Structure 1
């Protein structure tokens, strides 16, 4: 007898002892998901229907020139502070790892001092530096010989004071991240570099630091996002970043909640944009830890588009099976 397809009971690999695996049902997953969606929907509805929120004012001030100037200044402060603090953090981390007791002690004291005091206090101290030192001079120590002198308030403006406070504070935290990355590199890398005649500085720059970047990049990305949000603390010394601009506008029109929402929307947008380069940097420096890196969102979109263009896969051909 010939059949177009073989009967499952007569298949060569089928036996009476085959066990069909049935996935375990988990109804609580669906119940918890429904509860969470219900809570989110209820919160969104309460916000969208709240008569105390003027959504027209939010749309009006979202792209206000003063808000856009604050956004630009916020990004500028974040970029300068992170670049300078990262360079300084590498230097401080190298000093902490140095065998020179003077360098390691100074670096430890720097980290201890700037991590042990609140950032807000540091910002205020830099803003009021003119109260401590009326003039900044360069000359011969312990003598009256002066080569250069300037008024402190003219040199240290509110913008410069904010940059100094954020940069020096961030360098203390980032140096510990860099030091942890350095310690994560196997000691055999040091020995191999020294056996090849490499100097300590060249070994640090060309051998240790590139390998430590895999450990350094993720927390440094978080520190960059924290730096972006910490710029709002500069409002205490009247730096016109986005939060200060929003506060000044709300003091005029009494739309405090609406302007806070405007500032929050811009912060969310900026942090989302900053997460993109962090993601690709983590992939770049993580290539040596995995044979197959997960596809990027763009690669997933391309694959899904290619499958849709190719259409459904053709059905496999069936062969006739003879049964005695």
Structure 2
């Protein structure tokens, strides 16, 4: 066994005096803020504790989780379709997906939510039927586009535009040689997408999707402007009656923080899993170079 190359030995980093001083300053500053927050009677922590598990708050939290999961699931499916269209060699198909992505990424989510909630002003009634037949059904758009429906539609369509770009970025990470090998094997476009492109794109797609889930959970607070009784709207309904605005906003903020931390854990595990898979080969190569006999030329 050859001696370990000194260049491969881990180097210990010495901590400077400035770093220790920075730690002391940060700790003192954090303790000062914490003591101020806990001892200030205006925060009314007893009110926060009373409403933290209030029935209205928990009901709003459940609706927020539902909107997050439903919007992400539907948005991911639609985003996959858009990503495939955007990568298509057929120019009109790629252009249509590009216009959609540009439109929904280029306008604020709040504006989109309000637009879908008021879509009945443009199309009060729609007729759905089979062309050249008498089979048709009239749809009252005003009754159909209830606040929660408008919230789900708005969040889904907006999320689809972002997921389309994330998925398309994952597609572009697949080596060109892999696609050429699939073509040489005579794979159809569907089989090539299912067997080659999507599995190899997942390490790039999943971590970014985890960030989108966390962002979507916080983004659902925007639907409160539509009157949807999600977490923020539930807190607003309570403090509109009790006039305890700050404690109820703290309750909502704490729940957002707790759920964000809970969602961050599986995201970190997924990122760790896929980063381990992509870094396994370099580690094996380094290990082999360390155990290589000295006489072998490099």
Q: Does 1:33 pair with 2:23?
A: yes
Q: Deviations over 1:40-73 (max 9, x none)?
A: 1111111111121111100000000000000000
Give the root-mean-square deviation of aligned CA atoms: 2.2
- For residue 70 of structure 1, what is the aligned residue in structure 2? 60
Whose Rg is larger? Answer: 1
CA contact (8 A) 1:283 1:293 kept: no
CA contact (8 A) 1:93 1:178 kept: yes
The structure where helix makes up a greater share of residues is 2
- For residue 266 of structure 2, what is the aligned residue in structure 1? 277
Q: Does 1:157 pair with 2:146?
A: yes
Q: Does 1:250 pair with 2:239?
A: yes
Q: CA 1:64–1:22 in structure 2 vs 1: closer, same or farther (change >3 Å)? A: closer
Deviation (angstroms), 1:160: 0.8
Instruction: Find 1:92's aligned residue among 58, 82, 88.
Output: 82
Deviation (angstroms), 1:199: 0.8
- For residue 226 of structure 2, what is the aligned residue in structure 1? 237
Q: CA 1:25–1:147 in structure 2 vs 1: closer, same or farther (change >3 Å)? A: closer
Following the alignment from structure 1 to structure 2, what is the Cα–Cα distance between the partners of residues 131 and 61? 39
Following the alignment from structure 2 to structure 1, what is the Cα–Cα distance between the partners of residues 85 and 153? 21
Deviation (angstroms), 1:29: 1.1
Unaligned runs of 5+ residues in structure 1 are 1-20, 295-324
Q: Deviations over 1:75-134 (max 9, x none)?
A: 001000001101111110000000011110110010011111110000001111111111
- For residue 185 of structure 1, what is the aligned residue in structure 2? 174
CA contact (8 A) 2:128 2:139 kept: no
- Using the size of structure 2 for normalisation, the TM-score is 0.87
Following the alignment from structure 2 to structure 1, what is the Cα–Cα distance between the partners of residues 91 and 276? 37
Q: CA 1:38–1:134 in structure 2 vs 1: closer, same or farther (change >3 Å)? A: same
Following the alignment from structure 1 to structure 2, what is the Cα–Cα distance between the partners of residues 58 and 193? 59
1:38-49 aligned at under 5 Å gives the runs 38-49=28-39
CA contact (8 A) 2:113 2:155 kept: yes
| Count of residue correspondences | 273
Q: CA 1:192–1:22 in structure 2 vs 1: closer, same or farther (change >3 Å)? A: closer
Q: Secondary structure at the match of 2:42?
A: coil
CA contact (8 A) 1:287 1:293 kept: no
Following the alignment from structure 1 to structure 2, what is the Cα–Cα distance between the partners of residues 189 and 148? 48
Q: CA 1:35–1:198 in structure 2 vs 1: closer, same or farther (change >3 Å)? A: same
Q: Deviations over 1:188-216 (max 9, x none)?
A: 01011111111111111221111111111
